[in-house]
Each structure stands twice: as C-alpha cells, then as structure tokens.
C-alpha cells in the first residue's frame, strides 16, 4: 500500500512498424506511454505493473514488455532530476530507485525480468541495466509514534512491507540468474518482514484499549508485541493511517505475500512453515482477527466503526486528554475489501488464522484500471492509484502465486553478443557506447564494438533470413541501432534509440550459403526498406545504409557468443 490515494502482427508488418501499437507496453502508446519516467510514486509503479502483466506468456505482448521495461529503467537512471540526488520529502536526498516506497518498483522490475527470461526475452543489455540498480530501502523520516499528535499518525508498516517485497524479488532474480550476493538481499527482506510485524519498529501499535486518558500520553502505543500476543491480552493491534486503517495492516499482507514468494524463489530452504517465526505469525493472526469485524457479511464493504485517536487540551487548566471514538471508515479510501485477497497467504504462512467470517479471499479485478489515466476527472486520481501496479501485487503475486508459486525454468539470456568486421579488418563501432553514430573505424574489438543481437522472429539459432535488432553494449548506455529513414539515399547508421521500431529492425543474410550462421561466416544486413548496411571504403570510415546489392563493403565477418 501507499500512503495516498498483441495482437501479434506478422513479421512483415512487425509490431515495430511506426504507429502500429498493439500492447499497453508499447513506447509511444497514445493512450498511455508507460516507458517514460514520470517522477511520480503511484504513476511509475503502475507502469511497472503494465510490464509485469504483459510479460506473462499468455499476454501476446512479451516483446513489447521487454522493450518497454528497458526504456523505462534507462530513462529513470538517466533522468536529470537526480543531479546527483533528488530531494524526496519523505526520505531526504536520494538517487534512482531510492525514493520513498521504491520497493514496489523494484519488486515488479525483477519479477518481470524473470518472467521475460522464462519466455526467452531477457537480453544482456536489459540484464546489465537491472544489475546496475542499487536498491537500498529508505524508511519514511516521519512514520511511527514520535511526535504522534502533530503528524498524520502513520505507522511504518508499509515502508517495511514494501521494502521486504523489493528485497525479496532482488534475491529471487539474483539467485535464479546465478549472480552473487543474493543472500544479502534475502537477509534484508527477512529483516524487513520482521520490522513490518513489529511494535518496536513502530509498524504495529499495541493499544491497551482505553478510550479516555488524562493526561494524554505521548502516543497510544503503550504495549509491546509480547503484550499483544499474551494470552487473554486486552491490547489491540492498530494499523495507523490517520486512525485505525485496515488496509494499512491487513492490506499490507499483500506486500508480505509478494516478499514471501520472492524469497521462496530465491531459496528452496524457505517454506510456508518456516518463513515467519512464532512472534511474526502471532502478529499476523492478531491483525487478521482484528480486521474481520470491520467488513460486512459477504466481505465486500468496509464498515465505518474504526478507531479515531484525538487529543484535546483544556484552555483553562491546560490538562490534555486522549479520546478514542469508533467512527471513521475502516477502508482508508479503498473501495472494497475485495482488493486484498490475503486469506490464502495467512492460512499458509500463519496458520490458525482462519474464520467463517468475511475472509478476504476474493479478488475483484474490476476495481482496478488498466492504465493510470481516465477521461473522467472524478476517476483520474483513483486510476493513478489503483492501476496495474497494485493489481499485479495484490492479485497475481499475493493470491495466484501464493496458491501456485511460479517456476522459472529458463533464466538464461536470450541474445547474442556479436562483432562485425569489415572487408578491411575494421569493426563496426557505436561511438561512445551509444547515443551517437555507428562507424567502422576501430581495428580491434572492445566494448563499443560489441552488439547485442536479438532475433525477433522467434528463432533461437541465428540463421540466414532472421529478423533482428542490434543494441550497443556499453554499460548503462546501451541503445538500439537505427537505419535512418529505414534505409535509402542519405541513410546512416546510428546507435541512439531507446526503443526498437521499424528503422531499428534488420534482416541478416548469410553470404556463403543458407541455414544456420556460425562464427566466421560472411554476412550482410538489410534495413526495413531493403537497403544494405555498407562500411564505406571497406572500413575505416562512416557507415551508411544505402546500397541495393551486397559487395565487399557490405560484407561483414561475424563473430559471436550466445549469451
């Protein structure tokens, strides 16, 4: 929770064709472009939800999700607002993905990348970009019980729960990809879960039930987790968000459920039985049972009888009094309990918390919007909040994956790293690693002379006639190669595109036969308009895309490794 409100086209038409948009993930989508960095907590997490949903194999949009995710991360990491830090009012100066509650972005990025790998859409540039993200969870400077009466009375539970989710999926990604330090993220996730279910971390308030106290205490959270879990305890677990708010306690189990699945993907020794210790299970049960009376009989409507905590001061005597009334909406601006299908997670990870009462076991997808905009101004803020990002976490992660944990059988990279040597022994090179032109000047191959080749027509073996895209491989600056104008008179080759469309699409031709292409084979590349890529003078100069036949200047010796 946050504290505020393809169609598949044929290879000839290609979804890359300029203006042909079939998926929500498409860059330049006229309804909503999720590939931009919006500098908005809610809006950006919604974009990552779009990629996550369209990375599913049944979406028909997995390629669009892969391309869109790369552009979104690139623009986020390169946004000028960091310069070098962004001053987030909740956590202070921070860098990319260090903003308040960025764990939602992080979880969806890494889970999406695993989904993409599973369907053969994870490339080296995308993997490199994801690995470059240095996620360090930041806790709101103003959450908790300090200075309670002069603040919004917000607990820290959402900060820790969303951090747990972010770290959990970093651990999953790193473990499945065989990358180092997965255990560091795993430990951080488990620590965050512990803090999310703690009184000492000011996540859960243990209130003694007194409704009128003079003089008013500094805050109503006088008990500990031990007091809350004691037999026949009179203490009540309060999820503060300007009073008792069920979505900021029980609702945050969706984030903890997501974290649980990420941790189990990362580490097979973690099970439903041992992920939470007895105290954490007890805290889950207390919050669960506290929530049940505050929904109607079929679990579809919040009641308006949750606790409001106020302090008044007698102007004559100066005596302060804390008063507690049961008169505020329990849903904290969420339209229905059917957004939070957490019973399955509770029963599996903190058993004995089950009931025949309204049970939070239903999920209504119609409560969410497909994109974070709506032409109805009365729904604009609603859709910005309850869009694909939260639907992905609440429904897919916290319900579907709790019932049936995901299996990521393929976590390898799906592209080739290639070099292309000209007739004179020079190499095609992306000047500066990306963001500029492609030349044929270097006589040795280093990073700028390497390209990611991804086959767009579904083959796994590079072969004669394959449709492909090329992307530079400079760390942090990889960009797609474009034949300006699609090829023809005056067309040059540039490495300055953040999303591939028709001009960034090429066909590879094997010049010494047909079928599979092997290391050392001579090849040629044609643009979408059918013009050949040409190293002028056979190398040592510029590269154009304006030839209609392949002679020596249009011939390149390919060397590659399959990533």
Average pLDDT over residues 198-218: 97
| Same-domain status, 442 and 471 | yes
The rounded mean pLDDT for the chain is 93
Residue 193 burial (10 A CB sphere; 0-12, 13-18, 19+) = buried
Percent of all residues in the chain with a pLDDT value above 70, rounded to a whole number: 96
| Same-domain status, 440 and 396 | no
pLDDT digits (tens, 9 = 90+) for 86-124: 999 999 999 999 999 999 999 999 999 999 999 999 999
Q: How many domains are there within the chain?
A: 2
| Same-domain status, 511 and 406 | no
Last residue of a domain, one of 413, 447, 473: 413
- What b/e sequence results for 400-416 when a residue is b if at least 16 CB atoms lie within 10 Å of its CB, and e otherwise? ebbeeebebeebebbbb
What is the token pair recorded at 46?
């919604």
Q: Is residue 351 part of a domain?
A: no
Q: Is residue 152 part of a domain?
A: no
Helix (H, G, I), strand (E, B) or coil at 175: helix
Count the neighbouring beta carbons within 10 Å of the beta carbon of residue 135.
22
**407 or 10: which carries more pLDDT confidence?**
407
Q: Is residue 210 part of a domain?
A: no
Q: Is residue 230 part of a domain?
A: no
pLDDT digits (tens, 9 = 90+) for 219-259: 999 999 999 999 999 999 999 999 999 999 999 999 999 99
Crossing angle for the helix pair 253-266 and 182-196, to the nearest 10 degrees: 150
| Same-domain status, 371 and 383 | yes
Alpha-carbon distance of 291 to 24, in angstroms, equals 36
Residue 477 belongs to domain with CATH number = 2.80.10.50
Alpha-carbon distance of 311 to 324, in angstroms, equals 9
| Same-domain status, 472 and 409 | no
pLDDT at 402 over 70: yes
Percent helix, strand, coil in the chain (nearest 5)?
A: 35, 20, 50
Helix segments in 249-342, DSSP class H = 253-266, 278-291
Domain hosting 7: range is 1-138+366-413
Alpha-carbon distance of 165 to 104, in angstroms, equals 7
pTM for the full predicted model: 0.95
Average pLDDT over residues 411-426: 98
Last residue of a domain, one of 351, 378, 413: 413
Helix (H, G, I), strand (E, B) or coil at 502: helix
| Same-domain status, 397 and 430 | no
Q: Is residue 554 part of a domain?
A: yes
| Same-domain status, 32 and 82 | yes
| Same-domain status, 557 and 423 | yes
| CA contacts within 13 A on the Cβ side of 203 | 26
pLDDT at 13 over 60: no
Average pLDDT over residues 67-84: 95
pLDDT at 356 over 90: no
Q: Is residue 287 part of a domain?
A: no
């Amino acid at each position: 929770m946050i504290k505020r409100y393809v169609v598949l086209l044929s290879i000839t038409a290609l979804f890359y064709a300029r203006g042909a948009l079939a998926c929500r993930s498409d860059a330049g989508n006229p309804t909503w472009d999720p590939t931009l960095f919006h500098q908005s907590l809610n809006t950006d997490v919604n974009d990552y939800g779009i990629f996550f949903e369209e990375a599913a194999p049944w979406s028909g949009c997995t390629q669009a999700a892969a391309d869109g995710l790369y552009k979104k991360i690139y623009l986020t990491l390169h946004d000028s607002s960091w310069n070098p830090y962004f001053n987030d009012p909740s956590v202070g100066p921070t860098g990319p993905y260090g903003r308040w509650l960025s764990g939602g972005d992080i979880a969806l990025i890494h889970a999406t990348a695993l989904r993409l790998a599973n369907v053969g859409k994870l490339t080296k540039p995308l993997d490199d970009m994801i690995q470059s993200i240095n996620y360090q969870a930041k806790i709101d400077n103003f959450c908790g019980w300090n200075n309670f009466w002069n603040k919004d009375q917000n607990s820290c539970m959402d900060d820790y729960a969303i951090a747990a989710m972010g770290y959990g999926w970093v651990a999953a990604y790193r473990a499945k990809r065989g990358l180092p330090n997965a255990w560091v993220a795993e430990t951080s996730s488990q620590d965050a879960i512990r803090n999310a279910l703690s009184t000492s971390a000011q996540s859960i308030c243990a209130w003694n039930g007194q409704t009128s106290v003079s003089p008013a205490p500094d805050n109503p959270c006088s008990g500990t987790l031990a007091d809350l879990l004691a037999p026949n305890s009179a203490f009540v677990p309060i999820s503060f968000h300007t009073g008792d708010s069920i979505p900021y306690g029980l609702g945050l189990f969706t984030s903890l459920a997501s974290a649980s699945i990420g941790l189990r993907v990362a580490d097979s020794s973690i099970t439903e039985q041992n992920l939470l210790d007895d105290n954490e299970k007890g805290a889950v049960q207390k919050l669960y049972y506290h929530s049940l009376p505050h929904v109607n009989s079929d679990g579809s409507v919040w009641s308006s009888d949750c606790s409001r905590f106020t302090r008044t001061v007698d102007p004559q005597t100066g005596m302060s009094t804390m008063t507690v009334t049961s008169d505020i909406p329990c849903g904290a601006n969420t339209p229905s309990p059917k957004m939070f299908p957490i019973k399955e997670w509770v029963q599996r990870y903190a058993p004995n918390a089950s009931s025949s009462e309204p049970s939070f076991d239903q999920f209504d997808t119609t409560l969410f919007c497909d994109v974070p905009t709506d032409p109805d101004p009365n729904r604009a803020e609603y859709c910005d909040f309850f869009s694909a990002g939260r639907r992905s976490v609440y429904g897919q992660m916290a319900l579907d994956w709790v019932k049936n944990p995901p299996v990521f059988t393929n976590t390898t990279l799906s592209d080739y790293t290639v070099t292309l040597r000209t007739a004179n022994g020079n190499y095609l090179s992306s000047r500066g690693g990306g963001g500029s032109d492609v030349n044929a000047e270097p006589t040795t191959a280093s990073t700028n002379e390497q390209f990611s080749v991804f086959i767009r027509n579904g083959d796994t073996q590079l072969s004669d006639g394959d449709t492909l895209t090329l992307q530079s491989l400079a760390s942090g600056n990889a960009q797609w190669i474009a034949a300006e104008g699609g090829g023809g008179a005056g067309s040059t080759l540039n490495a300055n595109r953040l999303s591939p469309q028709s001009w960034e699409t090429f066909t590879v031709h094997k010049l010494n036969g047909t079928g599979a292409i092997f290391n050392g084979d001579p090849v040629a590349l044609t643009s979408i308009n059918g013009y050949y890529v040409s190293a002028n003078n056979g190398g040592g100069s510029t590269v154009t895309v304006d030839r209609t036949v392949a002679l020596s200047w249009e011939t390149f010796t390919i060397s590659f490794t399959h990533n």
